[in-house]
Amino acid sequence: MTDTVQEPVAEETFPYSRQCPFTAPKQYPEMVEKGVTQVTLAQSGLRVWAVTGYENIRSLLTDPRVSASRKHDNFPFYFVPPPQARTETSFIGYDAPEHGRARQKVAAAFTFQRVQRLLPRIQQIVDEHIDRLLALPPPVDFHRLFSLSMPTTVICEMLGMPQGDHDFIIKHSNNMFGGQSTPQQRQEAIVEVNAYVERLVEEREEKPGDDLTSTVIEQFRKAGDYTRRDAVNMIRMLMNGGHETTASMLSLGTACLLENPDQLAELLASPETLIEPATEELLRMVTIGDIGVPRVALEDIEIAGTVIPAGDGILCLLLTANRDEAVFSDPERLVLSRGSRKHIGFGHGAHLCIGAELARLEMQVVWTTLFRRIPTLRLDRPLEDIPRKEGAIVYGVHELPVTWEV
């Protein structure tokens, strides 16, 4: 092995800003050439290793020598973590075998077959949200009124949470995962959300319902390892993952289609046959989870001629994998018919996003319904003028103003 210590490719701290929502940061091409690069995290000042490229990342995410546990000293948080960020976690922060045992308690609710049963209700929710948009005079903020609200409605219904609590959930999600939140805001958000979820769990302990929260409690009890804390961490993770990521994909995916009218025209011409590959291509193109896969090396690991020492933090830059020319021809171009599931927009390996099939179905219903019902939909402001969530764990926009012909 060759032990190589590299300097950062730029003086800027990480995460780097994208040149546009659908273009990689300017620093990425040089990082891709190296395969492994040390970067400095903006808020914490921690030096960590950024891994690029499709094969490098896929290999690393199935390597037992890396850990997803937040308890490691050098776990690469993008922010200064409050104590709860290290201890209050669910299976996304577990390693084998604990990860598999915990994940299995909710896996059945997110299989393809189970998710497909939700199609009629998701279609109804999407239509209701479009009805609300059309009842308003344009322009409107598509991100706030549709992208955030629609998947939050779905996940609240699944978990048995009151639909009137959307603002609470969205506000605290922004504070927990936003790139500009202070440590105090993050800690307060975690405390308040934990208390909110704990009240729900306590209610379902006494009076189970026909919802996923009740199912989680039942599965823990069947396994003989139930604690309220574990249930709260699990439900909080499902709540956060069930709306934040999908909302970002809905807004940026919609914007990407509007910015590529030739591809949108193809989708409108053959929605039944093109929607599934189109969704995969948009997931590849946008890659909202680019910086959302942190790990820690448990042993020395050599990648691309560089040794990552045991104990060091690692970031897997998924956008570089999804733009890898060795895997995707002409990767900077949106081609809806490409439809490759080779992308790793949902991660890879044991920690593959558990809600991937639900997110896919929600996006497919939205994009086949939205443009059919509002065919003149367009951005109300140039894309470059729309504020983006640079530095956030989930990449996205703060708003998406749209308009249409009345």
Is the residue at 328 inside a domain?
A: no
Is the residue at 272 inside a domain?
A: yes
Band (pLDDT 50/70/90 cuts) for residue 3 is: very low
Nearest-angstrom CA–CA distance, 258 and 43? 34
- Among 72-81, 146-155, 252-261, whose mean pLDDT is lowest? 72-81
Nearest-angstrom CA–CA distance, 400 and 390? 15
Is the residue at 187 inside a domain?
A: yes
State the Rg of the chain over Cα.
21
pLDDT greater at residue 323 or residue 6: 323
pLDDT, position 179? 65
Q: How many domains are there within the chain?
A: 1
For residue 147, the enclosing domain spans 28-85+97-316+336-403
Question: Which of 79, 103, 102 has its CA nearest to residue 294?
Answer: 79
Band (pLDDT 50/70/90 cuts) for residue 5 is: very low
- Residue pLDDT, tens place only, 201-250: 999 999 999 999 999 999 999 989 889 999 999 999 999 888 889 999 99
Nearest-angstrom CA–CA distance, 345 and 275? 17
pLDDT mean over 81-102: 88
Question: Which amino acid makes up residue 353?
Answer: C
- Residue pLDDT, tens place only, 273-283: 999 999 999 99
Is the residue at 111 inside a domain?
A: yes
- Residue pLDDT, tens place only, 157-206: 999 999 999 989 888 887 777 667 777 888 888 889 999 999 999 999 99
pLDDT, position 189? 85
The pLDDT mean for the chain works out to 92
pTM here? 0.93
Burial state string for 335-371 with b = 16 or more CB within 10 A and e = fewer than 16: bbebeeeebbbbbbbbbebbbbbbbbbbbbbbbbbbb
Instruction: Specify the CATH number for the domain of residue 388.
Output: 1.10.630.10
Nearest-angstrom CA–CA distance, 339 and 329? 12
- Residue pLDDT, tens place only, 309-347: 999 999 999 999 999 999 999 999 999 999 889 999 999
Is the residue at 156 inside a domain?
A: yes
- Residue pLDDT, tens place only, 48-86: 999 999 999 999 999 999 999 999 999 998 877 777 778
pLDDT, position 11? 54
Is the residue at 327 inside a domain?
A: no
Nearest-angstrom CA–CA distance, 403 and 374? 10
Is the residue at 14 inside a domain?
A: no
Residues in Cβ contact with 124 at an 8 Å cutoff, skipping those fewer than 6 apart:
none
Is the residue at 8 inside a domain?
A: no
pLDDT, position 188? 85
Nearest-angstrom CA–CA distance, 236 and 219? 16
